[in-house]
Amino acid sequence: MGDRYGENEDPNMYFNRKNAVYNGRTHRPAVIRRTIDFNSPLIRYLQDRPFLQDNTDVPTLLPHEYYIRDLYPPLALKSKPQNSVCIRFVHQSKNKKPLPVNSVVWYPEGRRLLAGSSSGEFTLWNGITFNFETLLQAHDCAIRAMVWSYNQKHLISADTSGKVKYWEPSMNNINAFEAHPSMPVRTVSFGPGDHKFITGSDDGLVKVWDFKRSEEERCLKGHGGDVRSAAWHPTKGLVISGGKDKAVKFWDPRTDGCLTTKHLHKNMISKLEWNQNGNFFLSAARDKMVKVFDIRMMKEVCVFKGHEGEISSATWHPIQESLLVSGDSLGCFMHWMVGVEKPVVAVEKAHDSFIWDMAFHPMGHLLSTGANDHTVKFWCRGRPGDTVNDRYVLGTRNATMSVDDAVQDINGEPITNTASELPPEIREERRKTLINASKGRRAVVIHSVHTKDEVKEEEQRPVEEERDHSFNPFALPGRSTATTATERGEEIVIPVQQQQQQQQQQQQRQRGGGGRMGMDDGRRQMRGGGINRDGSGGMQRDRMYDGRAPPAMPHQGGGPGGYPPRQDFPPHAFQGPPFPRGPGGPPGGVPGGPPSGGVGGSLSPRGMPNMGAPMRGPPGGPGMGRGDMGGGG
């Protein structure tokens, strides 16, 4: 095709055809992708951090997606681990050549996800838009394990042929050697300091390696079968390993002997992982149980039961020490909290087959899962007021505790009563009692999970009831006009302090006053009326709101009488002799809205000159007269 278009043809006609050709290339329509930006919650948190008292001081969010920009990152929600669960489906990534995904790991900075497949390929997926970035043939056979060093400068990968390779963040291979000849390497773990690492294989051996010299230092023998998982303590010289012999062995990497052996499961152990605090570790096995073992007491402290399939993977949350997630052979994954026996929430239809590996984003707001169904899926936290009832979560009969019920009481203890065990009337009464007992403070509700019966009942409701509440973007955080059904977990009860606040405002309006229009003793000027702690007009960022101040609004009446800001009048208005303080003007109010009960103040000590008849402002707004100012119209 010599020219772009024919002589008598419309240039736009090529873009209207389904398979149009433009300059020899097929036109591809734009694709709308879901984007998860982790910068916005960090910026919001950094802006609000100077005003926060401690890590429990977080704003209450209204149940609307508009307030997603006010949701803090998990780093700021350490006291509320239930707000860091990731169950909302975001994206599914799949190679052109579909193959099982055996291992997934995030880059240390969180911008990319690295997936290792059964063909030995590295696939890099963007961590923000989740699109494909690059493909690399890293190994000649299936990749089984990948791990980053603590200094984030090197990656180690292992395959089923027994080879181990070193990689730089740029995916440059700097070293390769055979660690376990002709035997699959199932697990790799770095030691503290990154000078040494361990490998476990199907030959029943755990080997200690020098990273710099790539030489074997010790061989830990004692397992009676395949070693499926091994983990080095994050700060100490202690190694744990487990496999087909159903035993967890404790090793000192400086010696060859086994310190002790614990029989925690009745089937093959598939995953061992230390918690970031180093005090306990999780143990997941094919007996459908996940256990948490405390090395200080040398006994198990939690036993999690609920999976219907064999557990194939598990991992800790990188920020929340008490939160973990596990996946099974049926494609289901569940979130668990230490101290709560039943799962916080479960996603039963996440994948169609084994979930081989799971990895949290370094910030903790995203979860990635790699499975035997040839896909990598991304999951995020829900939006405020979100109802997660998609096809991945429907039928969560094992997840008897919803996120809305996993809040903490006033003493910080988790609530173990589950949503499905109680009737709706008792649930609602219990929820209101908790809110009133906590002195107006309520945990952030980011999403709710329904059982099958609740989902069916919700689908039968008319469409009008789905939008029964009106949304006001200028509403105060913590105050809502929502009138949705209480069983949906979306009704907001006005806190006790806020009710007292409204009563004080009403009494102040009845007494009259105004004119300060947002001045707080001359020290702070805020736009908007109301009552501050000292009784002055204006609305400052106060603790009693349990959140942030609303967006800027026009001046309003309210508060005791005073002097209006000088910048609200033209320069010539203050040229003239002093004028005595006047009694005040008519009620002020928001332009275009109903007048408030306040009375505007005068321009004392320097009043306005004789300018003739009073100048009227817009309806409901400020008006100007001789020596005084009040509401217009």
pLDDT score recorded for residue 19? 53
Mean pLDDT, to the nearest integer, of 17-35?
62
pLDDT at residue 210 above 60?
A: yes
Phi, psi of 475 (to 5 degrees): -70, 150
pLDDT at residue 483 above 90?
A: no
pLDDT score recorded for residue 37? 80
Q: Are strands 447-448 and 386-387 parallel, antiparallel or unpaired?
A: parallel
CA-to-CA dists, residue 297 to 280, 293, 294, 303, 516, angstroms? 10, 9, 6, 16, 63
Mean pLDDT, to the nearest integer, of 597-611?
41
pLDDT at residue 466 above 60?
A: no
Mean pLDDT, to the nearest integer, of 537-543?
40
Which residue did the predictor score with more confidence, 311 or 447? 311
pLDDT at residue 159 above 70?
A: yes
Supply 141's token pair: 């056979």
What percent of the chain shows pLDDT beyond 90?
45
Q: How many helices (H) and strands (E) does the chain have?
A: 6, 38
Beta bridge partners of 215: 210
The CA distance from 130 to 377, in Å, is 9
Lowest-confidence region among 261-275, 406-420, 566-580: 406-420
The CA distance from 286 to 263, in Å, is 14
pLDDT at residue 505 above 60?
A: yes
Mean pLDDT, to the nearest integer, of 365-371?
96
Phi, psi of 542 (to 5 degrees): -110, 150
* Rg of the chain (C-alpha set): 32
Which residues contact residue 192 at a Cβ distance below 8 angstroms, ignoring those fewer than 6 apart?
A: 150, 232, 233, 234, 235, 236
Phi, psi of 572 (to 5 degrees): -70, -10
Lowest-confidence region among 7-11, 256-260, 376-380: 7-11
Which residue did the predictor score with more confidence, 533 or 168? 168
Mean pLDDT, to the nearest integer, of 171-200?
95
Highest mean pLDDT among 48-57, 544-553, 560-569: 48-57
Which residue did the predictor score with more confidence, 593 or 255? 255
Beta bridge partners of 371: 355
pLDDT score recorded for residue 36? 84
Which residue did the predictor score with more confidence, 458 or 311? 311
Highest mean pLDDT among 201-205, 341-345, 562-566: 201-205
Mean pLDDT, to the nearest integer, of 292-315?
95
pLDDT score recorded for residue 424? 61
pLDDT score recorded for residue 387? 72
Question: Do 493 and 441 touch, CB atoms closer than 8 A?
Answer: no
pLDDT score recorded for residue 66? 82
Strand ranges in 7-120 using DSSP code E only, listed in sequence order:
21-22, 25-26, 88-93, 101-106, 112-117
The CA distance from 385 to 345, in Å, is 16
Mean pLDDT, to the nearest integer, of 492-503?
66
Count of other CB atoms within 10 angstroms of residue 459:
8
Mean pLDDT, to the nearest integer, of 301-309?
94
pLDDT at residue 265 above 50?
A: yes
pLDDT at residue 601 above 80?
A: no
Lowest-confidence region among 256-270, 350-364, 451-465, 484-498: 451-465
pLDDT at residue 592 above 60?
A: no
pLDDT at residue 610 above 50?
A: no
Which residue did the predictor score with more confidence, 457 or 269? 269
Lowest-confidence region among 103-107, 298-302, 428-432: 428-432
pLDDT at residue 383 above 90?
A: no
Which residue did the predictor score with more confidence, 487 or 243? 243
Phi, psi of 267 (to 5 degrees): -145, 180
Q: Are strands 376-380 and 366-371 parallel, antiparallel or unpaired?
A: antiparallel
What average pLDDT is seen over the chain?
73
Lowest-confidence region among 130-134, 242-246, 328-332, 570-574: 570-574
Count of other CB atoms within 10 angstroms of residue 14:
15
pLDDT at residue 569 above 90?
A: no
Which residues contact residue 211 at a Cβ distance below 8 angstroms, ignoring those fewer than 6 apart?
A: 149, 154, 190, 194, 195, 196, 197
Question: Do 300 and 59 touch, CB atoms closer than 8 A?
Answer: no
Which residue did the predictor score with more confidence, 283 or 34? 283
CA-to-CA dists, residue 187 to 178, 240, 385, 517, 620, angstroms? 14, 12, 40, 66, 72
Which residue did the predictor score with more confidence, 70 or 422? 70
pLDDT score recorded for residue 557? 38
pLDDT at residue 438 above 90?
A: no
